[in-house]
Amino acid sequence: MGKKKELSPVQERYQELQKKHELKKPILKNCLRAFLVGGLICTVGQAITYFYIYYFNFTEQTAGNPTVATLIFISMLLTGFGVYDHIGQYGGAGSAVPVTGFGNSVISAAIEHRTEGFVLGVGGNMFKLAGTVLLFGVFSAFVVALVRTLLSIWGVL
């Protein structure tokens, strides 16, 4: 980021005018909505975890993986049906931060680039948004595993 450019008096006046007319962001309202929607998604996730624990042979430790897969699958379907867009518009970060946001980012990119063809369009752009999550997820998991291994070798853990 470079040094802020000095503004001319006209530009300054324009900025003041812009500030006057700019709509204020309802931060508190957005936070509350994100909290509610995010919490609701997590409640659904908890219910799915209990479902897997009770009806299938999963323990609390192992039920996490199928739960995540199910939530991603449901959010992908909802994105395809056009429902998740409305949830996202209402909940904001509350719908993007949970793992359902990952499914949404994959499918919305695939739908967006559908017209460019199946291979170069859908295939090439599907992970445009979700690729970042995958890359940094794998990288941070590697770093954490490395730290843990070193700590256990040194006898700290």
Partner 1 sequence: MRRLKVLIGAFLGTMVSISLLGCQDRTSDESRISMVKPVNPEPIHINEKSRKEHDLAATVKKDIQSMPQIYDVAVIKGEKETLVVYKVKHLHRMMMKQIEADINKKLEKNYPKESFIVSSDFKIFIEAIELKDKMKDPGYPQDKAEKQLQKIIELKKEMT
Residues that bind partner 1 (CB under 8 A): 50-51, 53-63, 65, 77, 80-81
Query: Least distance to partner 1 from the beta carbon of 83, Å?
Result: 10
Residue 34 or 68 having the CB closest to partner 1: 68
Reduced DSSP (H G I as helix, E B as strand, rest coil) percent helix, strand, coil of the chain, to 5? 75, 0, 25
CB distance 98 to 74 below 8 Å: no
Residue 33 or 103 having the CB closest to partner 1: 103
User: Tokens in use for 149?
Assistant: 């291994």
Query: Least distance to partner 1 from the beta carbon of 70, Å?
Result: 9
Residue 54 or 154 having the CB closest to partner 1: 54
Number of CB atoms found within 10 A of residue 103's CB: 24
Query: Least distance to partner 1 from the beta carbon of 147, Å?
Result: 19
User: Tokens in use for 17?
Assistant: 């005018």
CB distance 110 to 122 below 8 Å: yes
The CA–CA distances, whole Å, from 113 to 119, 125, 157 equal 10, 7, 48
Query: Least distance to partner 1 from the beta carbon of 112, Å?
Result: 19
Residue 57 or 115 having the CB closest to partner 1: 57
Query: Least distance to partner 1 from the beta carbon of 60, Å?
Result: 5
Residue 32 or 144 having the CB closest to partner 1: 144
CB distance 107 to 80 below 8 Å: yes
